[in-house]
Amino acid sequence: MARSSWHYRQHPRPRVANPIPQRERAYESRISTADQDRISELILAGWAEQNSVDHSFATAWDNGVMLASRRTWWRIAAQIEDQMLRPKVPSRKDRRQRREKPVVKATGPGQVWSWDITDLYSPWRGKVFKAYKITDIFSRKIVGWRVEDREADHLAVDMFTAAIAEYGAPKIVHADSGPAMTSNLLRDYLHDQGVELTHNRPYTSNDNPFSEAGFRTLKYRPGYPKVFTDLDAARGYIAEYVPWYNSQHKHSGIALFSPDQVHDGTWKLLWEHRDQTLQNYHQQHPERFRARPHTPAPAPIVGINLPDKQPEKQAA
């Protein structure tokens, strides 16, 4: 028996006629009803614009409004309506010979790119469109994309040619082990540009997390059509999605800044504004904190399969 249980059995508390349930007690740290209603309004407004809870939270923060923690926003959102049903990803056992895991590291934008291809469904069974995407793993910015009706290495080369012309050649390009990714045509082109290629192990999605996470953001965004009537419809949607993602998406992997802000370094100015807003909120409601809050910043080192010991995030 626990010591506390023994104590209260020997010294029982006096009974209360009408006890107040734990969840209804007026703690100093409890968010007021007015603030909860305001948060609900902002979340619903964000959903109306097909934006996530994180996007609404970060937008309010950027506007100098701090009502509660990010986790509280999600808790209030869960009380508004259930989360969307998410399909389970089928898993399969890897019976192939183990390969050495790839290790890549980036300390700034333009150093490491990750690319992949995903399926966009059509109304016809067995017919899909192919969405190609190149992501800068440090800033999460989409630096190249295209949508085609097939997967081909020469189309990938054209995409990389346009991306390198606009952003310059990276040091490393990482991808999975698909036919287009391991083709001689693409390998020879990237080698001519002085780019090193790395590939993930078969059936190991963790070896290409940035591309996988980027496609998940695409397909789980509110309002995603799931089925595209034709190739032009798929291209049109992605053409609108990429600028929104790069310039407006509040990315949880980079402290709720947009990929453009991290890519060009303008996140530092916004970080100062966020920190001032958070510190003001702390001064107004110190009872809601156990310690002085810290404003998150993007990690100074990003990579794939890096050693467990990582330096602390920079404090802007």
Q: Where are the beta strands (DSSP E) in the chain?
A: 104-106, 112-121, 128-136, 142-148, 172-175, 196-199, 302-304
Burial (CB count <10 Å: 0-12, 13-18, 19+), residue 152: middle
Closest CA to 147 of 127, 163, 128, 164: 128
pLDDT in tens, 261-285: 999 999 999 999 999 999 999 999 9
Please give the single-letter amino acid code of residue 125. Answer: R
Closest CA to 170 of 195, 187, 191: 195
Count the alpha carbons within 13 Å of 262 in the hemisphere toward its beta carbon: 32
pLDDT in tens, 154-173: 999 999 999 999 999 999 99
Predicted TM-score (pTM) of this structure: 0.77
Please give the single-letter amino acid code of residue 237. Answer: Y
Determine contact, residues 221/49, Cβ cutoff 8 Å. Answer: no
CATH superfamily assigned to domain 104-247: Ribonuclease H-like superfamily/Ribonuclease H (3.30.420.10)
Give the pair of three-digit tokens for residue 100: 């050495």
Rounded to whole angstroms, how far apart are CA atoms 120 and 151?
12
* Residue 272: predicted pLDDT: 96
Determine contact, residues 199/99, Cβ cutoff 8 Å. Answer: no
Q: Where in the chain is the domain with CATH 3.30.420.10?
A: 104-247
pLDDT in tens, 83-117: 553 334 456 655 656 778 889 999 999 999 999 99
